[in-house]
Chain A
């Protein structure tokens, strides 16, 4: 994730609006990863997320004169991405059971962790990482949408609580609750599967206390 740079963004926007259109590439480049993950978290489909990301970038360009500078540029862009994603979800009747409106923070669920003591180290081999990535993506795709959104922005895109809340249009407290539940569900789902990845070097990443 690249930290946003308000002065660079403001200068870029001013010059783009004054006719230096090609600068839009530089303006959007630091945000393209965040745009993609926001959309992927909603749409759960690589091709669709990419297509929606392109549409988002174009909408940002077309609406650039509307950006007021009272919000962070990245937050503004991500809310455009989110609207693009939500619009597409609404059109997909088949995915209606996964609609965001149907889920609330009050929903019950079992958030007790998987109890095991054998998966404590992170596998380091390239092949294992790849395999692990596939398992992880599948687990995230299986999360309820409201948790998937939050965990992707916070843990994958590494946005802070405030920005995540702003981009999703929810309270900071809801971000924390959803993040906690998302991580608990992922631990539950992943820990038993990852037992097969044998511990390698103890103590790496400062784990195990």
Chain B
């Protein structure tokens, strides 16, 4: 089946997650072969997804874990009083 750009965009997120069925995937792949616009949309959307998963892009605040466990120590009443 021939599909248009809008149709591709609607399924782009599911396509990236591997959640479109084989027939739709084949249609989208075929469209991507000839459509520079959709190829670029797919690449940039996938870039966004890859970047978000990068631990270096989204970091915990410095010292977060240490402060959390220090607070827990107080709460658990385990701190050495001396």
Interface size range on B against A = 35 or more
A57 touches B52 (CB 8 A): no
Tell me, in angstroms, the Cα distance from A53 to B66 when the chains sit together. Answer: 13
Check A10 for interface membership: any CB of B closer than 8 A.
no
Q: In the complex, how many angstroms separate the beta carbon of A151 from the nearest chain B beta carbon?
A: 7
Provide the residues of chain A in CB contact with B64, threshold 8 Å. Answer: 32, 36, 50, 53
A interface majority secondary structure: helix
Q: How many A-B residue pairs have CB under 8 A?
A: 133
Interface size range on A against B = 35 or more
- A10-38 contacts to B, CB under 8 A, are 21-22, 24-25, 28-29, 32-33, 36-37
Q: In the complex, how many angstroms separate the beta carbon of B53 from the nearest chain A beta carbon?
A: 6
Tell me the A residues contacting B by CB distance below 8 Å. 21-22, 24-25, 28-29, 32-33, 36-37, 46, 50, 53-54, 57-58, 61, 111-122, 129, 132-133, 136-137, 140, 151, 155-156, 158, 176, 179-180, 183-184, 186-187, 190-191, 194, 205, 207-209
State the 3 A-B residue pairs at the shortest beta-carbon distance, nearest first: A180-B13, A155-B52, A133-B57
Tell me the B residues contacting A by CB distance below 8 Å. 6, 9-10, 12-14, 16, 19, 32, 36-37, 39-41, 43-54, 56-61, 64-65, 67-69, 71-72, 75-78
Q: Jot down 21 A-B pairs with beta carbons below 8 A, ordered by A.
A: A28-B68, A29-B65, A33-B60, A36-B64, A50-B64, A54-B71, A58-B71, A61-B76, A111-B9, A115-B37, A118-B40, A119-B44, A122-B50, A136-B48, A136-B57, A140-B52, A156-B52, A180-B12, A183-B13, A187-B44, A209-B39
